[in-house]
Structure 1
């Protein structure tokens, strides 16, 4: 049976006159997946989002989106009715989608995003405006798919931490989330799959599990023999071996690895933990394709 995706593209291409913004874009997004689209400015992220949203059409290729999909969208740029209050911005957005927000639900919404209901949008700080945008994108109607374009722009540290927790709750509800952001460290614990775009091309397409990107550096002495190295290889994935260093990959805790070394009397003098982050992978991908 063919695997089902709520979004699937085949060889998408988008040209603006002579400029190719996207080429050969193949993405597959499962229901309930948290997917990241990463790239430098001008890589084609926002263009891809606009095609998915139906705001612009592709020049070539196919895009399939599940029927009856309710989409919430938060654009990169601030898009509010400045002369309306927080309450009225939310209500207008709901009405335009065919819903009406009750007083009780409105109270719940503004409490969740910690905003003053009657304050005019033009008088909000940049971070508060972003939280209002998020409320308008996610809380005015039931949402199946949430698309966020640089959601952390303008947010202070506390707002970013709030956003991270908010998105985690959305993910737990089974909402599919598609996000592009420069704040890769914020998303590490949320991402299921990611794509990296360079100059309109996908250069990386991988599942992500932050726990599987833990690496440990073992400092070994000169007495380690081939049998002992083989024992380590049988229990861990050796990423690199150079001089007196063995770099291994493992999802085990440092204590468990230390216990294994002690129990097997391995000549390891020191263990350091390092983490290969999404940002490390992103920077490496961008440099290799520049």
Structure 2
């Protein structure tokens, strides 16, 4: 069953200035979708459209009733005057999570990312990597059914990247549907079930790596090789 079905004919900030066209894909329970494409291809606009942040959209985005959604942005966003603990408390209040539930979920994450001793500090004083870790904790603490992640590995050191990858796989096993926008194709190849390739504002291809290989006639090609084959073929037309 689809957690979300996306059919976007056009979307942008104003009618007549659409940034993306002709997108049509779904995310299923326990599925990890890699959203890939060059800078400016329309990936961020796609995410904003799914989240309802675009002022113009023709099409429909159908979300399964009753599911919870979390968004992990590329650039961390915090309230300047709140400590990280206060951010945690704020989200817990909005989601109506009991204190014991919050503690059971957040404490292991704080320990994994080594933020336990920094929880009462302002996130604005954190390093970029620490801020990214804090955002991951805030996204995962609500136990979402649908998780949208934009460039999750930016600013993370190798250890934190490994922890995040393990968490992503654990979330998929729990049944979470994940849309992950990333430029790290070698990592995406290893963990994603399917890919949505966007080029010049349009959906170019959707499918598994095997689907891409067959379409490109690259029977053992990497995602990197298939990606460039598809992009170059599209731009030569």
TM-score by length of 2: 0.85
Which of 3, 9, 12 pairs up with 1:12?
9
For the pair shown, the structure with the greater C-alpha radius of gyration is 1
**Corresponding residue for residue 108 of structure 1:** 108
Mapping of residues 163-202 of structure 1, within 5 Å:
163-202=164-203
The answer to whether the 8 A contact 1:76-1:153 is kept is yes
Structure 1 residues 16 and 119, CA gap change in structure 2 (3 angstroms): closer
**Corresponding residue for residue 222 of structure 1:** none
Mapped partners of 2:125, 2:7: distance in 1: 44
Deviates more, 1:172-181 or 1:110-119: 110-119
Mapping of residues 1-290 of structure 1, within 5 Å:
4-17=1-14, 18-102=16-100, 104-105=103-104, 106-115=106-115, 116=117, 117-139=119-141, 141-208=142-209, 249=219, 276-290=221-235
Mapped partners of 2:27, 2:131: distance in 1: 29
Structure with bigger RCO (C-alpha 8 Å, 6+ apart): 2
Q: Where in structure 1 are there 5+ consecutive unaligned residues?
A: 214-238, 241-248, 250-274
Q: Where in structure 2 are there 5+ consecutive unaligned residues?
A: none
Deviates more, 1:42-51 or 1:113-122: 113-122
Mapped partners of 1:16, 1:58: distance in 2: 5
The size of the alignment, in residue pairs, is 227
- Give how far 1:11 is off: 4.4
Mapped partners of 1:286, 1:100: distance in 2: 48
Mapped partners of 2:131, 2:154: distance in 1: 10
The answer to whether the 8 A contact 1:192-1:209 is kept is no
